[in-house]
Structure 1
């Protein structure tokens, strides 16, 4: 628990910010306004996950090596911020199309700020400085809470103004967190230039960006498809449920991800150097333990929600006006997406990126096809459609890891 203390604290603070944003949007906006903003935010988070692929290789290849991670910091932050600019334009276009034009500028600013913050945070995590990462997350949370205090007193009928204040609050929070980490102390490591960064880590960037895009697309598309088939209010309910219910689960799971990546890298290095055997049974046993951990955490969170949620949503309770879908529906999807990313990190040392992305595309295509079939053709309830959407994510990546396992490759492609 001492090892997990700061990683878990950082993730709790980060996820708490998303919880506050979802609760704020749900409580101060009408279901229609929150549904429109939720779809725009879904595009925002897909974009953040996609451009995060620029610095994600730092975590994969430099985890635990503080000098190497710090040396890649400057070039990674610059490249990731530049990559966010066209995505910011897309978010602005989506906001205008959803008739919340006043949020176009703050959501675009929030995206560039989030990309910069994510890059800086990735370096801090790769360096093992979880306390500093947690400081940025805490500032992000505090700004969102202040924004909530500003928004609530506004006239209930001024929905456009409330929506705009929520968007500007997000922009301020992301840039504040980025500024805090940017002002932090650095090691004496020699900075790597942009060209050197691309030469050493650039071969992983397109694949990790695609991986982030595909994983992010799942949640965003679920929200969008629900909005298309069931209306904006239903889309907002799904977005709220994904944050409020799956958020605590993701806090616990994502907190251990850097430690797992470091473990996979260490095992691969030992196997490649011949210092330790790379046996199929031992290797897959590690992956089985990871899957068991995710299942145990999901069960615990589900049991907790089953007890706490009825009290929070009862008439007169703090969340009685919050529109949500079933808590049990979004938990399997959260577990499946996390397991898919973890399995990809595990198989990265054993199979080329092209094969891993083919599995990801097959999983995503099957998942979304099942969702559309469930909601449109079969006319199933939204909760049932979301559960069906999770099945490919829970099964395909693990089946690929078992069926296509091989010893650690000498070189990666």
Structure 2
């Protein structure tokens, strides 16, 4: 007996033949299907429609759409500028919602986008320079350096009773300094926000810095860490765009609360708390060159005399700070930080930083050779009341 079959669409015939060669369990997942049902069967069904390219393309489109999360925005096409070397026309690039980490021209977006100024990227002052909350950012440089100084504190002391080391230790003036520093934006858009990329957004940050002096070259003492300072802080940043004379632009005001301690027990325990106000301005000199200027003034939070590990620390470390940075070009920068006690008996410190990118990788913005010269009080909490001159030479990570 001969059976006569009416013509079937080629896409159903191909899928049916595929299903007939599979086991019953497999056929259930690869049964013939219309493109609109491809999402329930998988891309294998679409692959079996090779004899009908139009139907296969429709099937793959249906399956791809089913993979997007619910309520996800549609992918968008964005043009890439023509290649100046070849003169080829702009190309359409598909930017999926969950993968949109680069601009169409291949440049990083948000806090890594060079369209925005250094301060805007660092504090994410504008919507377009935002990298969202709870990411880990660089703060102060993460550094490893060899240190030489004109003196070392063999028997640290403080005016508080029981806060002076019982006996001197044979520390060496050459040691190693390690600094770790990170921050994270924990909230944004309290008082200032807007839908446009140029709109200012205020933000709240948490930062943590740690600096250690390691007696790496003192084998006789088992190479101890002479001192480690811990410095958590909370920072609120309010952005501005206020033009100043000379091409300067006032960019932000801030309020901070900071605790600093060395985590040691008596007699070497040192700690204090302070609240500060800050402001910062910048001047753009060129594509890779700029000047930034930042000022802080702080007030120590009251402590009972019996709980004060370091009375009068603000008379040594200072009550105000002014720091300036000159980004000479993409590979070189100079920074100067000055602190002052704001009292007739002037004390404080000066710190000069020079950073240079390795010549072999000048475009890599993270690694720097770092030379630092410090003179004054407060290089560490243990040395808050001891004047030192310190030269550090090492490597730092910035803007990672």
TM normalised by structure 1 equals: 0.25
Higher helix proportion (structure 1 or 2): 1
The structure having more radius of gyration, on CA atoms, is: 2
TM normalised by structure 2 equals: 0.25
Higher strand proportion (structure 1 or 2): 2
